[in-house]
A and B are shown apart, each in its own frame.
Chain A
Amino acid sequence: MGEITRSEPPPPADARRPIADDAPPVDKRTTLAEAAGLVRDGDVVAIGGCLYSRTPWAMLLELLRAGKRELTLARSLMCYEAELFLVREASTKLVTSWVGIGLPWGIPKVFRRYVEGGRAAYEEWSHLSLGLRFQAAAMGVPFLPTTSLLGSDLLSLAGAKEMDCPFTGRRVAVVPELTPDVALVHVHRADPFGNAQVDGATYMDREIAAAARRVVVTAEEIVDPSVIVGQSDRTLIPHFIVDAVVEVPFGSYPHECYGLYEASFEHFDEYAALVEAKGEEGVREYLRTYLDEPGSFEGFLDRVGATTLLRQQRRARELSVR
């Protein structure tokens, strides 16, 4: 606790691939395995979506499959992916405002044991102050002021500071920028160049993508650029900040994707029951069943089964009825 996760600003050449004067648009379509190569051991990885909504689940599983190490995971609210990464020894540090699945599933026991036992660091920010750290990086400034955190013990625990406004003398808290090495975002549709659109709430996706050195977009559907142009007000992330685009239908499952499929509470029950019964070993069993044995994300979806996926689609449609 206390150590601020702070990436040094990248040298310009590393920030983005050099773009030649007359470069044609780059087709960035690739596979999950290739895209995982953009994440290096020790990276700060910002995860899009929020809690169990529009999580880049397929990409997260791919990072586990690739055996990444020493990752710092940064996310507004973290679901049980936190525990998967801790138990797989893929991550040693979490930067977030909250960890859990949700009220009905109790508090995350494995997360607790790791943090209480000093096996993982947990840097806790408030929801907004973490968002402002990404926003500062996205703005290219070293910090941002906020009136959150003032007077709380969270201020010093997290590593924020206070200052008096140089213009008015008003007291504000200031939070340092957080530049993720990689941002992972799952969207409804993207074109081959990385122009990415989402339906529904945008969570912190724009902030983390705009802040990050590299951006991996997974999309329910890769569409023709004309589709993007035809409804460009839906575009959240423009092509020039995107490094890889992977088409992954059901790419957030068992989490939800707005309007397309609902989160599987039954799947969460299964995970929670495993942890309740077996603790860390329950997490390992979950990983064997849903990561290792299936061998790929398609294999994972096969294991879930078409009937279940169709049911989750139907539930989402029912919820979307106005």
Chain B
Amino acid sequence: MTVDPEDRMIVAGSRMLRNHRVVFAGVGAPLIASVLAQQLHAPDLTIVLEGGYIGPKMLPGKLPISTNEMRGARRSVMLTGIVDTFLFAQRGRFDYGIVGAAQIDRYGNVNTTLIGDPAHPKVRLPGSGGANDIVSSCREVFVMTRHEPRRFVERVDFVTSPGWLDGGDSRERAGLTKSRPAAVITDLAVLDYEPESKRMRLAALQPGVSTEEVVQATGFELVLPREVRELAPPRADELSALRRLREGPTVDAPKPDAMVGGTVPGSASGTDADSMEEVARS
């Protein structure tokens, strides 16, 4: 059985989320991964959406397209404001934060702001949304994105959401002490960071993917351990639950540029997922 690359990325993401934790998720792949985890192995995972929805249990086929719409409110334990929601994060109450990326570099710095020179951008992307706040505050930060050389660049044009900055202890020196870029989850692999240098490191391969494929899809030199494990393939129950989640207006009504090549939002606000697709065309 062939598994859609996007699906194996989402399944890998969902498996990282443990029960009884709190996850701050953007719409698109991060939210789908979170709801999938909730439906399978983490029924008491508390999902938080930026708009002020805490602890919703969303219905398959009725996932919100924005972090603010009423679809996201179903069976929430608390409906509040945006500032209050983010302040829970800033206080250190959220275990996981998941964002997407238009560009990501060897230290896990993420760009969703602009391509080119900041003073005269070649391409203006939609912006941070809550992504900067999420990576600055959530204890473990995951980035979910398609694995392509144009996304995995030597150095991002602009640091919207800091990863390990320049590596080593630079993140800590910048004052970011309560959160930790933990992993990058892609359709080809799971990557983490070498503990000292903080350079991105291949941690596990998606089933059937070779180290060489990952190296080819990465625009910078990855740290390659001597042995790399392979992730367990998506199970039938994971795939069928995922199919049910994808029903509904998020996917059943293709819009211009809809979901092309990946539902990963560039920011937590549900973003420029495919801005890179459009950028490539424009």
Measuring CB to CB, which residues of chain A are less than 8 angstroms from any residue of chain B? 1, 49-53, 76-77, 96-100, 102-108, 111-112, 115-116, 122, 124-129, 131-132, 134-135, 146-154, 157, 162, 170-173, 200-207, 256, 258-259, 262-263, 265, 268-269, 272-273, 276, 316, 319-320, 322
Contacts and interface: CB of A to CB of B under 8 A. Distances in A.
Given A97-B129, A125-B128, A147-B178, A103 B256 contact: no
Contacts of B174: 150-151, 171
Given A51-B66, A151-B176, A269 B253 contact: yes
A12 B274 CA distance: 48
B119 interface: yes
Contacts of B275: 107
Contacts of A104: 65, 250, 253-255, 258-259
B133 A127 contact: yes
B81 A52 contact: no
B62 interface: yes
A132 B83 contact: yes
Interface residues of B, number: 77
Given A99-B127, A259-B70, A272-B256, A126 B133 contact: yes
A98 B127 contact: yes
B68 A51 contact: yes
B28 A107 contact: no
B69 interface: yes
A103 B73 contact: no
B135 to A, nearest CB: 9
A169 to B, nearest CB: 11
B269 A127 contact: yes
Contacts of B119: 1
Nearest to A202: B81
Nearest to B124: A115
B70 A124 contact: no
B278 to A, nearest CB: 6
Contact of B160 (A53, A102, A153, A320): A153
Which of B81, B121, B126 has the most chain A CB atoms closer than 10 A to its own CB? Answer: B126
5 contacts: A50-B51, A134-B83, A152-B160, A157-B158, A268-B255
B259 A320 contact: no
A108 B124 CA distance: 10
> Secondary structure of the B side of the interface?
loop
A73 B217 CA distance: 40
Contact of B136 (A1, A148, A157, A162): A148
Nearest to B278: A107
B81 A53 contact: no
Contacts of A129: 132-133
Given A103-B271, A202-B80, A320-B70, A98 B90 contact: no
Contacts of A102: 27, 65-66, 270
Nearest to B171: A151
B267 interface: yes
B75 interface: yes
Contacts of A131: 82-83, 86
A264 to B, nearest CB: 11
A287 B171 CA distance: 47
B76 to A, nearest CB: 9
B74 A53 contact: no
Given A132-B83, A150-B174, A151-B162, A100 B130 contact: no
Contacts of A116: 121-124
Given A51-B269, A53-B70, A172-B175, 12 more contacts: A52-B69, A124-B127, A127-B50, A127-B129, A135-B83, A147-B178, A152-B162, A170-B175, A206-B81, A273-B256, A319-B62, A319-B70
Given A98-B128, A98-B267, A103-B271, A153 B53 contact: no
B265 interface: yes
Contact of A201 (B52, B118, B270): B52
Contacts of B122: 116
